[in-house]
C-alpha cells in the first residue's frame, strides 16, 4: 500500500445563489478506501466530488485530506487527480505525450517523466500503444490513457466522475474490473461517482447513497443491500428493484393481501399502513419458505439463467419474482411462492425501515 491518505468532510454545503444543492455532508473516508458516491441524476455527486477536487468552491464546511485542511487550497495543492467521463485527450499528441503532458507543464525532469509514463503504461497494459494518437485507440483504450494521466501524477487520492459512462456495456464491465485491480495494486484512496448501482456494488468498500444533496445511507455494499435504512436506499440498490407492497401492521407482524405474516413482534399499532419490501430474488417458487402466498403470473421473461415473473397478488398489487431454477420454465397462471420472512423489509409511511 502506498500513498494512502484518508479524508474527512464536515458539514460541507454548496449553494448556487439561493439554490442549495448540497446540504451539510459529513463523511469520513479511511486511508486506502474505495468509496463510491451513488444516486440519481442531479443529487449532487459531481458537485461533491468537484468540491473535494477544489474545482468548485465550498459554500460552507470543511474538507481535509490526510489530516490537512484543504478547503481553500488550489486543486494542484490537494494531492488529488481526477478522471472525468469525457477524457479529453489531446488529439495531436501521442499517448506517451498525453500521459506526460501534465508533468512536463509542471517542469518535471525528462527522465522522471519517462519513468512515470513507463510505469503507468505497464500498470494499464497500454505499452504497445504509446506511440499512437488518441484517434487510433478504442474507447476503452482512451479511458485507460485518461486514467494513466492521473496515475503519473502520483496523487494521494484518485477522484473518478462516471469514468465509464461513455463506454458500451461490455467494455464497462471489463474497465470496471480494471479499476478494481488498479485499486488493489496502488492501494490509494479512491472516490468514484456513478449512478450505476452495479458499479457501486462491485467496486466499493463503502457506498454513499445520495439523494437531493443529502446522504441517505453510508455502508458496505452488503450493508446497504441487506439493511437499507429507508425505502429510497432499498429501491435504489438491487436489480430488479425491490417490490414495495402496501400492507398494514398486525398484532404480530403485518397483513398483506389478506394474509398475516408473523414476525414475532409488533411493528406498530395494528392497522397502521406499512410498506412491505421483498426483493425479487428472495421470492421462491414453491411452498418451501415460512411465508407462503399465491400469485397470478401475468407474463414472464426468460433470460437464460434466470426468469422474471411479473405477477399479481390476491389484492391486485403487482410484484416481480426472480426465478433462478432453470430446470423448469414457468409460463402464465396461478402459482404458490414463498419467502424467508427474515428477508422481508417493512417501512413506515415516512419510508423509514421498521424491522429490527
The DSSP bridge pattern shows strands 206-211 and 189-194 to be: unpaired
Task: Give the phi and the psi of residue 223 in degrees, each rounded to 5.
Answer: -65, -45
For ligand ATP, the binding residue among 32, 38, 46, 99 (CB under 6 A) is: 46
Phi/psi zone of residue 259: left (φ > 0), alpha (ψ -120 to 50 degrees), beta?
A: beta
> For residues 162 and 178, which CB has a smaller minimum distance to ligand ATP in the complex?
162
Q: Coil, strand or helix: which one is 90?
A: coil
What track of x and - describes contact with ligand ATP for positions 22 through 41 (by CB under 6 A)? -----------------x-x
**∠164-172-5 over CA atoms, to 5°?**
55
Q: Is residue 47 involved in binding ligand ATP (CB under 6 A)?
A: yes
Q: Is residue 42 involved in binding ligand ATP (CB under 6 A)?
A: yes
Residues within window 159-198 making contact with ligand ATP, judged by CB under 6 A? 195
Residue 193 and residue 162 in contact, taking contact as beta carbons nearer than 8 Å:
yes
> For residues 71 and 194, which CB has a smaller minimum distance to ligand ATP in the complex?
194
Q: How many Cβ atoms are within 10 Å of 156's Cβ, its own excluded?
A: 20
For ligand ATP, the binding residue among 2, 11, 16, 198 (CB under 6 A) is: 16
- Least separation, in Å, of the C-beta of 47 and Mg ion? 8
d(CA 319, CA 242): 9
Residue 142 and residue 149 in contact, taking contact as beta carbons nearer than 8 Å:
no
Torsion of CA 179, 185, 188, 190, to 10 degrees: 10
Q: How many Cβ atoms are within 10 Å of 49's Cβ, its own excluded?
A: 22
Q: Is residue 141 involved in binding ligand ATP (CB under 6 A)?
A: no
Phi/psi zone of residue 351: left (φ > 0), alpha (ψ -120 to 50 degrees), beta?
A: left
Task: Give which of Mg ion, ligand ATP, none residue 47 binds (C-beta under 5 to 8 Å, depending on kind).
Answer: ligand ATP
Q: Is residue 15 involved in binding ligand ATP (CB under 6 A)?
A: no
Q: Would you give the end-to-end CA distance of the chain in angstroms? A: 38
- Least separation, in Å, of the C-beta of 234 and ligand ATP? 20
- Least separation, in Å, of the C-beta of 301 and Mg ion? 31
> For residues 141 and 194, which CB has a smaller minimum distance to ligand ATP in the complex?
194
> For residues 12 and 285, which CB has a smaller minimum distance to ligand ATP in the complex?
12
Q: Is residue 5 involved in binding Mg ion (CB under 5 A)?
A: no
What track of x and - describes contact with Mg ion for positions 17 through 46 (by CB under 5 A)? -----------------------------x
- Least separation, in Å, of the C-beta of 160 and Mg ion? 11
CA 75 to chain centre: 25
**Chain residues that interact with ligand ATP, rule: CB under 6 A:** 16, 19, 21, 39, 41-47, 195
Amino acid at each position: 500500500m502506498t500513498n494512502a491518505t484518508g479524508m474527512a468532510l464536515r458539514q460541507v454545503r454548496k449553494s448556487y445563489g439561493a439554490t442549495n444543492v448540497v446540504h451539510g455532508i459529513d463523511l469520513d473516508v479511511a486511508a486506502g478506501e474505495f468509496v463510491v458516491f451513488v444516486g440519481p441524476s442531479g443529487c449532487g455527486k459531481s458537485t461533491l466530488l468537484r468540491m473535494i477536487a477544489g474545482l468548485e468552491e465550498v459554500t460552507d464546511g470543511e474538507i481535509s485530506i490526510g489530516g490537512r485542511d484543504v478547503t481553500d487550497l488550489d486543486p494542484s495543492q490537494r494531492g488529488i487527480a481526477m478522471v472525468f467521463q469525457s477524457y479529453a485527450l489531446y488529439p495531436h499528441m501521442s499517448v506517451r505525450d498525453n500521459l506526460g503532458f501534465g508533468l512536463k507543464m509542471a517542469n518535471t525532469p525528462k527522465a522522471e517523466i519517462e519513468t512515470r509514463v513507463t510505469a503507468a503504461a505497464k500498470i494499464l497494459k497500454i505499452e504497445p500503444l504509446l506511440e499512437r494518437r488518441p484517434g487510433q485507440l478504442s474507447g476503452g483504450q482512451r479511458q485507460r490513457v485518461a486514467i494513466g494521466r492521473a496515475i503519473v501524477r502520483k496523487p494521494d487520492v484518485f477522484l473518478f466522475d462516471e469514468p465509464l459512462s461513455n463506454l458500451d456495456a461490455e467494455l464497462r464491465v471489463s474497465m470496471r474490473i480494471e479499476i478494481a485491480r488498479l485499486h488493489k495494486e496502488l492501494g490509494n484512496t479512491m472516490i468514484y461517482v456513478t449512478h450505476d448501482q452495479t458499479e457501486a456494488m462491485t467496486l466499493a468498500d463503502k457506498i454513499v447513497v445520495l439523494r437531493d444533496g443529502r446522504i441517505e445511507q453510508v455502508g458496505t455494499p452488503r450493508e446497504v443491500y441487506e439493511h437499507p435504512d429507508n425505502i429510497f436506499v432499498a429501491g435504489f440498490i438491487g436489480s430488479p428493484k425491490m417490490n414495495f407492497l402496501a400492507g398494514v401492521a398486525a398484532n404480530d407482524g403485518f397483513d398483506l393481501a389478506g394474509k398475516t405474516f408473523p414476525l414475532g413482534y409488533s411493528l406498530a399499532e395494528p392497522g397502521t399502513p406499512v410498506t412491505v419490501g421483498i426483493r425479487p430474488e428472495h421470492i421462491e417458487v414453491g411452498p418451501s419458505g415460512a411465508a407462503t402466498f399465491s400469485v397470478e403470473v401475468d407474463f414472464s421473461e426468460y433470460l437464460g439463467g434466470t426468469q422474471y415473473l411479473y405477477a399479481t397478488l390476491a389484492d391486485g398489487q403487482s410484484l416481480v419474482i426472480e426465478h433462478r431454477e432453470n430446470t423448469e420454465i414457468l409460463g402464465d397462471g396461478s402459482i404458490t411462492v414463498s419467502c424467508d420472512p427474515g428477508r422481508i423489509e417493512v417501512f413506515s409511511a415516512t419510508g423509514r425501515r421498521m424491522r429490527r
